[in-house]
Copies of this chain bind each other. A is one copy, B any other.
Amino acid sequence: MNIIEIILKKKNKEELSYDELSFAFCSYLNKSIPDYQMSALLMAITINGMTMKETLALTDVFIKSGDVYKFNKKVSDKHSTGGIGDTATFIIAPIVASMNIPMAKMSGRGLGYTGGTIDKLESIPGYKVELSKEEFYNQVNKIGIVISSQTDDLVPLDKVIYSLRDVTGTTESMPLIAASIMSKKIACGASYIVIDIKYGNGAFIKSVDDAKEFSKMLLSIGKHFKKDVKTLITPMDSPLSSSIGNALEVLEAIEVLKGKKCPLRDVSIDIAASIVAMAKEIPVKDAKILCKNALDNDNAHKMFKKWIITQGGDLSKLKVSDKVITLKSSLEGTIDAISAINCGRLAMKLGAGRETKKSKIDYGVGIKLLKNIGDKVKKDEALAELYVKNLNIKLTDEDLKIFSIK
């Protein structure tokens, strides 16, 4: 087999066989084909797409590139394609674990507007994000809940391909994203998988049609690999919660676990219920009642504390910045929109996200929204609190364009 012929086939919109995909990607992993040939192939895939057959083949090649975890009971996993203020994992995992459905999850750091799940967990002093395979297995068996950073033995192909995609303009490819997400969930041993597909101006998928297409892809992969997969399609035009930032989002999740009623609670219940419905083989509406109960009777909150303590975290030491700037309304009216993408940009400017891989995140900074869509506001009324590192930070009118008031 010849890598140039494989690249040319994809350039000419022809379907690649399992053997061709396996040859190209495995050769890249063992360094027998260079970066520049793989990046040309990735660009051809990004522009010309892949058939479902190709996507299934690539997912399989990804899975087989490393270790595959097997637990002695069925475990669950969830994934969100990313949104601003999305801290639902911290609510969902304790809900399902409190019902004896283990959640064994590996997660990543964030590149872009705000931190990823691992960054948010690292804002809790002491929390150990790096676990060995043995520690990972043990914690699942002991308390039924574990979230650690991705280990090197699982899907090593994803790691090298993602690094290359990140610097070659080839991140926005649905089949490549689908293969990346699903291979990691499957290799990590999940039997029940829920994927929350975000669409809108704050997400990489812009339209509901693209979200539906992506959902179809994920469900087909699940069916092929004999896994129970459910998808949710949720809008991401406004932030999911009223906190954006790392420690701020953990605190927000704790509020929900303590009983706060808000959209973040509703989304978390929906996702948790999808897992519970699969695991207990009951209707989703019945599963929802169980999930609400788990929040209302404090079981989920207890499970959350048990999990964080077991993994070394000390919630009493979780801190946000004590330097706060209040954002006030310049006019009177009704809030008709809160821009997720602008919240993300502002959060990054404040230091909550990474501009490059080497940037350091400031866990204590971020935005706390004080108003919701539909709220009436007066001139000079407080709209949001900005937790900053330095009160002298220069913010332009453009930076502060979060609320649209009419």
Residues of A within 8 A of B (CB): 4, 7-8, 11, 34-44, 46-48, 164, 167-170, 172
Which residues on the B side are within 8 Å of A44 (C-beta)?
A: 43, 47, 169
B37 touches A167 (CB 8 A): yes
Query: Which 3 A-B residue pairs are closest in the complex by CB-CB distance?
Result: A7-B169, A35-B36, A43-B43
B40 touches A169 (CB 8 A): yes
27 contacts between A and B (CB under 8 A): A4-B167, A4-B168, A4-B169, A7-B168, A8-B169, A11-B46, A11-B47, A11-B169, A11-B172, A34-B36, A36-B36, A36-B39, A36-B164, A36-B167, A37-B168, A39-B39, A40-B40, A40-B43, A40-B168, A40-B169, A40-B170, A41-B169, A43-B44, A43-B47, A44-B47, A47-B47, A47-B48
Please report the C-alpha to C-alpha distance between residue A35 and residue B43 in the assembled complex, in whole angstroms. Answer: 14
Please report the C-alpha to C-alpha distance between residue A48 and residue B168 in the assembled complex, in whole angstroms. Answer: 16
B35 touches A34 (CB 8 A): yes
Cβ of A232 to closest chain B Cβ, rounded Å: 28
Cβ of A372 to closest chain B Cβ, rounded Å: 34
Please report the C-alpha to C-alpha distance between residue A36 and residue B33 in the assembled complex, in whole angstroms. Answer: 12
Residue of B nearest to A44 (CB): B43
Which residues on the B side are within 8 Å of A36 (C-beta)?
A: 34-36, 38-39, 164, 167-168
Cβ of A177 to closest chain B Cβ, rounded Å: 15
Residue of B nearest to A10 (CB): B169
Which residues on the B side are within 8 Å of A41 (C-beta)?
A: 169
Cβ of A173 to closest chain B Cβ, rounded Å: 10
The count of identical subunits is 2
Please report the C-alpha to C-alpha distance between residue A168 and residue B35 in the assembled complex, in whole angstroms. Answer: 10
Chain B CB count within 10 A is highest, among A4, A8, A37, A39, for A39
Which residues on the B side are within 8 Å of A43 (C-beta)?
A: 7, 11, 39-40, 43-44, 47
Cβ of A38 to closest chain B Cβ, rounded Å: 7
Cβ of A213 to closest chain B Cβ, rounded Å: 18
B37 touches A40 (CB 8 A): no
Please report the C-alpha to C-alpha distance between residue A11 and residue B37 in the assembled complex, in whole angstroms. Answer: 17
Which residues on the B side are within 8 Å of A46 (C-beta)?
A: 11
Please report the C-alpha to C-alpha distance between residue A164 and residue B4 in the assembled complex, in whole angstroms. Answer: 12
Please report the C-alpha to C-alpha distance between residue A170 and residue B43 in the assembled complex, in whole angstroms. Answer: 11
Which residues on the B side are within 8 Å of A168 (C-beta)?
A: 4, 7, 36-37, 40
Please report the C-alpha to C-alpha distance between residue A401 and residue B44 in the assembled complex, in whole angstroms. Answer: 34
Please report the C-alpha to C-alpha distance between residue A41 and residue B168 in the assembled complex, in whole angstroms. Answer: 8
Please report the C-alpha to C-alpha distance between residue A34 and residue B167 in the assembled complex, in whole angstroms. Answer: 10
Which residues on the B side are within 8 Å of A47 (C-beta)?
A: 11, 43-44, 47-48
Cβ of A201 to closest chain B Cβ, rounded Å: 16
Chain B CB count within 10 A is highest, among A41, A42, A44, A169, for A169
Which residues on the B side are within 8 Å of A35 (C-beta)?
A: 34-36
Which residues on the B side are within 8 Å of A39 (C-beta)?
A: 36-37, 39-40, 43
Which residues on the B side are within 8 Å of A170 (C-beta)?
A: 11, 40
Residue of B nearest to A42 (CB): B40
Cβ of A36 to closest chain B Cβ, rounded Å: 4
Please report the C-alpha to C-alpha distance between residue A367 and residue B37 in the assembled complex, in whole angstroms. Answer: 36
Cβ of A353 to closest chain B Cβ, rounded Å: 17
Which residues on the B side are within 8 Å of A11 (C-beta)?
A: 43, 46-47, 169-170, 172
Please report the C-alpha to C-alpha distance between residue A168 and residue B7 in the assembled complex, in whole angstroms. Answer: 7
Cβ of A41 to closest chain B Cβ, rounded Å: 8
Please report the C-alpha to C-alpha distance between residue A356 and residue B362 in the assembled complex, in whole angstroms. Answer: 53
Chain B CB count within 10 A is highest, among A7, A11, A42, A43, for A43
Please report the C-alpha to C-alpha distance between residue A7 and residue B165 in the assembled complex, in whole angstroms. Answer: 12
Cβ of A34 to closest chain B Cβ, rounded Å: 7
Which residues on the B side are within 8 Å of A167 (C-beta)?
A: 4, 36-37
Which residues on the B side are within 8 Å of A48 (C-beta)?
A: 47
Please report the C-alpha to C-alpha distance between residue A104 and residue B172 in the assembled complex, in whole angstroms. Answer: 48
Please report the C-alpha to C-alpha distance between residue A65 and residue B106 in the assembled complex, in whole angstroms. Answer: 49
